[in-house]
């Protein structure tokens, strides 16, 4: 069975509403070719599709109602059949990809716009050819089903259904319009129409347009009585429109539509939706009623929709986001920083093998000591380790603490960067430390080549574009990324002006806070801050200062001389040498002294602990000098 029919057999589905209504509300003119808007105003079409998807539609209809040769010829566009239909399907496919939901794409096929012979100029063969021309493109472009809608002549609709059956295996919905008396304009009864359309090959027989929900229900009742085993579609108008202040206004509101969901279902409707006058608000209300019928509840309690028509007082389709939906909020880490809390993060290096039990236990211990987040490095020193993203996910799921992923440009192309960012958001990892990354020459895989399509400055800009709802090429993502962006800075660099200017470029690109390389003297931070404020003005973001408790003099000497980005003060080296066998205790003591100084240092709003040799217990000892009040201190500096 076709996936659409299989799904429909499992449960009724919800289609979208009136595309024309939304386009007219945007300013499209009734005299123009609306179908051409897929080329001239594709963002209009995309945003309307997105609004209906967000409102809860399972089926989105392509904007191809009049994209057949006969209708297009009236606008001298008969040669655009392929281009318009293919582009329309592609726009829905893109919306589906962005939404991440299993949306079905209905290739929309409307009447040819001219009467059949002998009453009109179109022969049966010409009609058959015109339908096949359009349908073949819809099928090729990726439509999941065909929706023949708003047909007034049964003979024309039969030609279209048979034409489709000859060239493709897509499910077919054949829908006609009816008058108030329950008959077509030609006077045919619904019972006859059901029989003939099923014989022609339609999978669902439908009713759409012309009338509102109540008259449509009467027609549906008659159809269901005549063919109780048949499946139907019902897509009413929002009542009869009237012109108010030069605009068409439809009287039937969302609540009224929702009231008719249950009666439609009882009378055999398997696909529900709306036609002229129906907006995402109507579909949203029907979604709630349908979910209630199915005994399910939307994941976030309230379905959100895009405010596509903010300038439309007659439609008013904005819906407030659900307060329980954390995906639209800042991360917990950023909320704490914005609230002025002193934040604690502890770094974890991924394992070189397949088992991360030690790292997860370390994260659990850090949380018990008051850590707010766990930093996960990205193959530090260019040595192969478990991917940082996979460890972030394990920690968040098993420990219940936020992670900060070190995200480098070293190993990822421009495409790979964006793909991994999308994946991180989908997995719930939204705190990103943007780094360029250590060069492969430092590590143990010298045959590996670096990518570096962009550096950390470029990466910040890419992430910030995701936060604005776009990828690097300007394509819409459907929703903002809501990433919290961190950047690195190194107050120990000899050339502070160069480091400060580079840091300024990073924060100007959209960073929310910074994390420093480890320092061993508070004055280094104060010097960095002074140079920045002299060159660029007030310091722009909160700071988490890197603190690394030393193990012994040999460890201190190695870090100072051989590890990029780590520079110890001479006083720190001297103290570790004097400590001798008591190096570990002295290292913790030095880190504690530094931490107490940092709590009162300007702009410092947290600490970033770096355990050595995976000794998380030793690193977390540093936190013992902080009182609970200090850990939650309100920053008023």
Q: Does 292 have pLDDT greater than 60?
A: yes
Instruction: Give the range with max mean pLDDT: 250-254, 315-319, 513-517.
Output: 513-517
Q: Does 308 have pLDDT greater than 80?
A: no
Same domain (yes/no): 572, 585: yes
Same domain (yes/no): 343, 200: no
In this prediction, residue 631 carries a pLDDT of 58
Q: 637 lies in a domain?
A: no
Model confidence pLDDT, tens digit, residues 334-357: 999 999 999 999 999 888 888 888
- 569 vs 492: CA distance, rounded Å: 9
In this prediction, residue 636 carries a pLDDT of 42
Same domain (yes/no): 315, 364: no
pLDDT band for position 299 (50/70/90)?
very low
In this prediction, residue 242 carries a pLDDT of 65
Model confidence pLDDT, tens digit, residues 89-112: 999 999 988 887 889 999 999 999
Mean pLDDT calculated for residue range 351-368? 90
262: tokens are: 């249950």
- 234 vs 286: CA distance, rounded Å: 12
Domain span at residue 569 reads 329-631
Chain-centre distance for alpha carbon 375:
25
The domain tally of the chain equals: 2
Same domain (yes/no): 262, 351: no
441 by DSSP, 3-state: which? helix
Same domain (yes/no): 313, 460: no
By C-alpha distance, which of 270, 155, 147, 130 is closest to 209?
147
User: Domain boundary residue among 324, 344, 371?
Assistant: 324
Cβ atoms within 10 Å, residue 449: 10
Q: Does 329 have pLDDT greater than 80?
A: no
User: Domain boundary residue among 291, 324, 357?
Assistant: 324
In this prediction, residue 443 carries a pLDDT of 61
* Cβ pair 24, 236 in contact under 8 A: no
User: Domain boundary residue among 324, 340, 364?
Assistant: 324
Mean pLDDT calculated for residue range 474-492? 90
537 by DSSP, 3-state: which? coil
Model confidence pLDDT, tens digit, residues 615-635: 888 888 899 998 776 655 444
Same domain (yes/no): 399, 286: no
Q: 67 lies in a domain?
A: yes
According to DSSP, the β-strands at 204-208 and 232-235 are parallel
By C-alpha distance, which of 260, 269, 262 is closest to 239?
260
Same domain (yes/no): 364, 386: yes
Q: Does 399 have pLDDT greater than 50?
A: yes
Q: What CA–CA distances, in Å, run from 430 to 97, 330, 371, 375, 404?
A: 20, 9, 17, 12, 8
pTM check: above 0.95: no
In this prediction, residue 568 carries a pLDDT of 86
CATH number at residue 288: 3.20.20.330
Mean pLDDT calculated for residue range 127-154? 96
* Cβ pair 535, 497 in contact under 8 A: yes
By C-alpha distance, which of 544, 282, 265, 520 is closest to 404?
544
Q: 410 lies in a domain?
A: yes
Q: 167 lies in a domain?
A: yes
Same domain (yes/no): 148, 54: yes
**DSSP for 163-204, written as a single string:** HHHHH----EEEEE---TTSB-TT--BHHHHHHHHHHHT-SE
Q: 52 lies in a domain?
A: yes
- 193 vs 158: CA distance, rounded Å: 10
Q: Does 15 have pLDDT greater than 90?
A: yes
Higher pLDDT, 260 or 326: 260
CATH number at residue 484: 3.20.20.220
In this prediction, residue 385 carries a pLDDT of 87
Same domain (yes/no): 312, 381: no
Q: 564 lies in a domain?
A: yes
Mean pLDDT calculated for residue range 129-147? 96
- 375 vs 353: CA distance, rounded Å: 19
Q: What share of the chain is helix, strand, coil (3-state, %, to 5)?
A: 45, 15, 40
Q: Does 505 have pLDDT greater than 60?
A: yes
Higher pLDDT, 173 or 437: 173
By C-alpha distance, which of 487, 491, 478 is closest to 506?
487
pLDDT band for position 47 (50/70/90)?
very high
The radius of gyration computed from the CA coordinates of the chain, to the nearest angstrom, equals 32
Q: Does 315 have pLDDT greater than 90?
A: no
Our CA dihedral for 556, 562, 565, 570, rounded to 10 degrees, sits at 40
Same domain (yes/no): 315, 447: no
Model confidence pLDDT, tens digit, residues 524-556: 999 999 999 999 999 999 999 999 999 888 888
Flag the least confident range among 131-135, 313-317, 407-411, 573-577: 313-317
In this prediction, residue 628 carries a pLDDT of 73
Same domain (yes/no): 319, 350: no
Q: 94 lies in a domain?
A: yes
In this prediction, residue 101 carries a pLDDT of 86
Q: 636 lies in a domain?
A: no
Instruction: Give the range with max mean pLDDT: 38-42, 249-253, 412-416, 577-581.
Output: 38-42
Mean pLDDT calculated for residue range 249-253? 78
Model confidence pLDDT, tens digit, residues 173-225: 999 999 888 888 888 999 999 999 999 999 999 999 988 999 999 999 999 99
Same domain (yes/no): 296, 367: no
């Amino acid at each position: 069975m076709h996936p659409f029919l299989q799904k429909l057999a499992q449960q009724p589905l919800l289609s979208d509403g009136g595309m024309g209504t939304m386009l007219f509300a945007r300013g499209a003119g009734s005299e123009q070719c609306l179908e051409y808007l897929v080329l001239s105003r594709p963002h209009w079409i995309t945003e309307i599709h997105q609004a209906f998807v967000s409102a809860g539609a399972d089926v989105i209809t392509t904007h191809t109602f009049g994209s057949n040769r006969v209708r297009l010829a009236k606008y001298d566009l008969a040669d655009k059949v392929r281009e318009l239909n293919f582009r329309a399907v592609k726009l829905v496919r893109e919306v589906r990809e962005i939404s991440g939901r299993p949306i079905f794409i209905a290739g929309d096929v409307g009447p040819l716009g001219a009467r059949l012979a002998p009453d009109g100029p179109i022969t049966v063969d010409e009609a058959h050819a015109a339908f096949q021309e359009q349908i073949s493109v819809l099928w090729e472009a990726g439509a999941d089903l065909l929706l023949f809608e708003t047909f007034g002549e049964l003979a024309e609709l039969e030609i279209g259904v048979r034409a489709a059956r000859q060239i493709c295996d897509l499910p077919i919905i054949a829908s006609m319009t009816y008058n108030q008396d329950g008959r077509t304009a030609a006077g045919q009864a619904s019972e006859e129409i059901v029989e003939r359309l099923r014989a022609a090959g339609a999978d669902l027989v439908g009713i759409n347009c012309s009338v509102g929900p109540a008259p449509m229900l009467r027609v549906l009742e008659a159809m269901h009585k005549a063919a109780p085993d048949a499946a139907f579609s019902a897509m009413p108008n929002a009542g009869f429109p009237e012109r108010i202040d030069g605009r068409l206004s439809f009287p039937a509101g969302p609540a009224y539509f929702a009231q008719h969901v249950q009666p439609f279902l009882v009378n055999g409707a398997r696909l529900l939706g709306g036609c002229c006058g129906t907006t995402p608000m109507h579909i949203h209300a029907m979604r709630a009623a349908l979910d209630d019928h199915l005994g399910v509840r939307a994941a976030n309690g309230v379905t959100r929709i895009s405010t596509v028509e903010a300038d439309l007082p007659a439609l008013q389709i904005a819906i407030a986001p659900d307060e329980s939906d954390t995906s639209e909020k800042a991360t917990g880490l950023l909320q704490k920083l914005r609230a002025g809390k002193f934040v604690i993060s502890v770094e974890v290096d991924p394992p070189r093998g397949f088992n991360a039990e030690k790292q997860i236990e370390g994260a659990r211990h850090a949380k018990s000591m008051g850590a707010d987040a766990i930093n996960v490095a990205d193959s530090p020193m260019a040595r192969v380790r478990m991917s940082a993203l996979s460890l972030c996910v394990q920690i968040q799921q098993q420990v219940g603490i936020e992670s900060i992923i070190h995200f480098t440009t070293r190993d990822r192309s421009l495409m790979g960067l964006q793909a991994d960012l999308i994946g991180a958001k989908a997995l719930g990892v939204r705190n990103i430390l943007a780094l360029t990354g250590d060069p492969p020459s430092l590590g143990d895989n010298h045959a590996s080549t670096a990518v570096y399509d962009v550096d950390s400055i470029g990466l910040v800009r890419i992430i910030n574009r995701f936060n604005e709802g776009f990828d690097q090429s300007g394509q819409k993502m459907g929703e903002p990324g809501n990433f919290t962006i961190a950047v690195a800075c190194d107050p120990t660099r000899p050339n502070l002006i160069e480091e400060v200017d580079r840091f300024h470029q990073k924060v100007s690109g959209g960073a929310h806070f910074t994390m420093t390389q480890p320092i061993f003297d508070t004055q280094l931070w104060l010097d960095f801050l002074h140079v920045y404020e002299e060159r660029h003005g007030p310091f722009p973001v909160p700071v988490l200062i890197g603190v690394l408790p030393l193990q012994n003099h040999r460890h201190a000497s190695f870090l100072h001389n051989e590890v990029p980005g780590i520079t110890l003060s001479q006083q720190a080296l001297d103290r570790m040498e004097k400590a001798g066998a008591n190096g570990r205790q002295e290292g913790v003591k030095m880190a504690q002294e530094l931490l107490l100084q940092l709590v009162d240092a300007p702009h410092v709003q947290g600490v970033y602990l770096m355990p050595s040799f995976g000794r998380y217990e030793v690193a977390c000892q540093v936190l013992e000098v902080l009182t609970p009040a200090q850990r939650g201190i309100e920053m008023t500096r």
